């Protein structure tokens, strides 16, 4: 009985051994194999392939880009493809390369994406001088100028960040892959801009956010699209620089002045949403008031005096001084502060008549007479000195 059992068991053991041998994968150098990550160390990862022993992927062969730790490239349980670099059954050493397997598969995939103009997602692996490095099966590079639509000074926070990109340049022979997120953002911005512009009409008042300032104006975001508020449209008074009126990030109301889809330009105004200076001045100035103003312009027939920002009145030449003057330049200069009396104030017509001489006390009559006498021209040929007229008499007295 015992012998029968032994006789039956022996073939069974031999059959199992044969099955196991048939399940062992046959490998040779250069093969591409599939396996599962079963263990990770700092500088390598172990892969179960169904071979007699596990294969190892050194750190440098894990990724097309530099990684500091094997765990940055793969995870336990992850299925991977790898190329066999070397086999040493005596030492049970099987060296694999995930990088080479990824690269061989990646070029065909990238070529397809390039031809289709496809947008796809990548993760920034490293920040280097001049741009960002990503792993797309091969080393991909995003130049600094192609990361955002705006200028970025510091890219240190981009490592590990996901970006949506398109392939700008592809050269397999030079192992060169140039990517751009800016192209994706520009295309989306133009599509959005077209939609927004079609919904805008001149005269429309909307809320926006100041995005950036320039010496000539402020760009305001109105629903994801920027419109320009020229410096002349910032306020009713003269503005030297937009920063004197608004700041980046500030919410503002703007009025649409013009929409030009042919050049993609939206002109906006902040001052058009504010009460005009003549409107606010209506309750502030009245006929008969004596106020202080600033001489803004001198013309042959008088002087324009600013009473408040954007509110100017005319002082006719006859109302500048109590004496006769030939030109306003004789007694006034631009930028000079003067007291004026308001003779007439008409906000509806944006007009004011002013007088400087009525805001001053008239000089005494004797002083006026003396001034007029000094101003009278001497008859031609009547000009002489005391010495010429009384010279002889003076000599006799001496």
Q: Would you say residue 162 has pLDDT above 90?
A: yes
Confidence grade of residue 263 (pLDDT, cut at 50, 70, 90): confident
> What dihedral angle (degrees, nearest 10) is formed by the CA atoms of 205, 207, 212, 214?
20
Residue-range domain boundaries for the chain: 30-101, 117-185, 200-273, 282-359
Instruction: Give CATH superfamily name and number for 200-273.
Output: Nucleic acid-binding proteins (2.40.50.140)
- pLDDT, residue 394, reads 47
- pLDDT, residue 333, reads 95
Task: Look over the chain and give the mean of its residue pLDDT values, rounded to a whole number.
Answer: 86
Would you report the helix, strand and coil content of the chain in percent, each value rounded to 5? 30, 35, 35
Give tens-digit pLDDT for 49-59.
Answer: 989 899 999 99
Give tens-digit pLDDT for 334-365.
Answer: 999 999 999 999 998 999 999 999 998 766 65
Secondary structure (3-state) at 195 = helix
Q: Please state which of the ranges 124-133, 149-158, 358-367 shows the lowest mean pLDDT.
A: 358-367
CA atoms within 13 A on the CB side of 394: 6
What is the fold of 30-101?
Answer: OB fold (Dihydrolipoamide Acetyltransferase, E2P) (2.40.50)
- pLDDT, residue 365, reads 58
Kindly tell me the burial class for residue 270, based on how many C-beta atoms sit within 10 Å of its own C-beta (0-12, 13-18, 19 or more): buried
Cβ atoms of 38 and 46 within 8 Å: the answer is yes
What is the C-alpha to C-alpha distance for residues 346 and 11, in angstroms, rounded to an integer? 120
Indicate the length of the chain as a whole number: 398
- pLDDT, residue 177, reads 96
Percentage of residues in the chain having pLDDT higher than 90: 63
Categorise residue 333: left if φ over 0, alpha if ψ from -120 to 50, beta otherwise: beta
Q: Would you say residue 366 has pLDDT above 60?
A: no
Confidence grade of residue 147 (pLDDT, cut at 50, 70, 90): very high
Quick one: how many helices (H) and strands (E) in the chain?
Answer: 6, 20
CB-based contacts of 181, cutoff 8 Å, min separation 6 = 142, 146, 147, 148, 163, 164, 165
- pLDDT, residue 5, reads 36
Encoded tokens for 398? 């001496």
Q: Please state which of the ranges 52-61, 311-320, 373-382 shows the lowest mean pLDDT.
A: 373-382
Instruction: Give CATH superfamily name and number for 282-359.
Output: Nucleic acid-binding proteins (2.40.50.140)
Q: Would you say residue 21 has pLDDT above 80?
A: no
- pLDDT, residue 2, reads 40
Q: Would you say residue 383 has pLDDT above 70?
A: no
Arithmetic mean of pLDDT, 30-40? 92
Categorise residue 130: left if φ over 0, alpha if ψ from -120 to 50, beta otherwise: left
Q: Do domains 117-185 and 282-359 have the same CATH topology?
A: yes
Arithmetic mean of pLDDT, 246-272? 94
Give tens-digit pLDDT for 264-280.
Answer: 899 999 999 998 889 88
Arithmetic mean of pLDDT, 248-257? 96
Q: Please state which of the ranges 96-110, 201-215, 295-309, 383-397 shows the lowest mean pLDDT.
A: 383-397
Confidence grade of residue 22 (pLDDT, cut at 50, 70, 90): very low
> What dihedral angle (degrees, nearest 10) is formed by the CA atoms of 165, 169, 172, 177?
-40
Domain 117-185 class, CATH top level:
mainly beta
Q: Would you say residue 209 has pLDDT above 90?
A: yes
């Amino acid at each position: 009985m015992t012998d029968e059992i032994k006789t039956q068991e022996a073939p069974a053991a031999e059959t199992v051994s044969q099955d196991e041998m048939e399940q062992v994968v046959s490998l040779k150098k250069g093969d591409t194999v599939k396996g599962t990550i079963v263990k990770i160390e700092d500088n390598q990862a172990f892969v179960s392939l169904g071979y007699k022993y596990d294969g190892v992927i050194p750190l440098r062969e894990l990724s097309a880009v530099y990684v500091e730790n094997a765990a940055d490239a793969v995870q336990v349980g992850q299925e991977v493809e790898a190329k066999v670099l070397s086999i040493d059954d005596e030492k049970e050493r099987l060296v694999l390369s995930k990088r080479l397997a990824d690269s061989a598969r990646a070029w065909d995939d990238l070529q397809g994406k390039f031809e289709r103009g496809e947008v796809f997602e990548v993760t920034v692996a490293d920040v280097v001088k001049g741009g960002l490095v990503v792993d797309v099966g091969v080393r991909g590079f995003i130049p600094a100028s192609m990361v955002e639509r705006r200028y970025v000074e510091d890219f240190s926070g981009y490592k590990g960040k996901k970006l949506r990109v398109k392939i700008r340049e592809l050269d397999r022979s030079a192992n060169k892959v140039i990517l751009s997120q800016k192209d994706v953002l520009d295309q989306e911005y133009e599509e959005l801009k077209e939609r927004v512009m079609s919904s805008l009409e001149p005269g429309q008042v909307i809320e926006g956010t100041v995005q950036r300032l320039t010496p000539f104006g402020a760009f305001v975001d109105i629903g994801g699209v920027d419109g320009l508020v020229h410096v002349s449209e910032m306020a009713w008074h003269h503005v030297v620089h937009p920063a004197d009126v608004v700041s980046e990030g500030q919410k503002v109301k703007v009025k649409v002045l013009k929409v030009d889809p042919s050049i993609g330009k939206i002109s906006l105004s902040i001052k058009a949403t504010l009460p005009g200076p003549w409107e606010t001045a209506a309750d502030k100035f009245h006929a008969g008031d004596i106020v202080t103003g600033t001489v803004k312009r001198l013309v042959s027939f008088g002087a324009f005096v600013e009473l408040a920002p954007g509110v100017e009145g005319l002082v006719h030449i006859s109302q500048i001084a109590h004496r006769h003057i030939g030109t306003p330049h004789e007694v006034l200069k631009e930028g000079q502060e003067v007291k004026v009396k308001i003779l007439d104030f008409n906000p509806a017509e944006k007009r004011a008549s002013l007088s400087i001489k009525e805001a001053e006390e008239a000089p005494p009559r004797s002083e006026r007479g003396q001034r007029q006498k000094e101003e009278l021209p001497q008859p031609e040929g009547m000009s002489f000195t005391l010495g010429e007229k009384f010279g002889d008499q003076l000599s006799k007295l001496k």
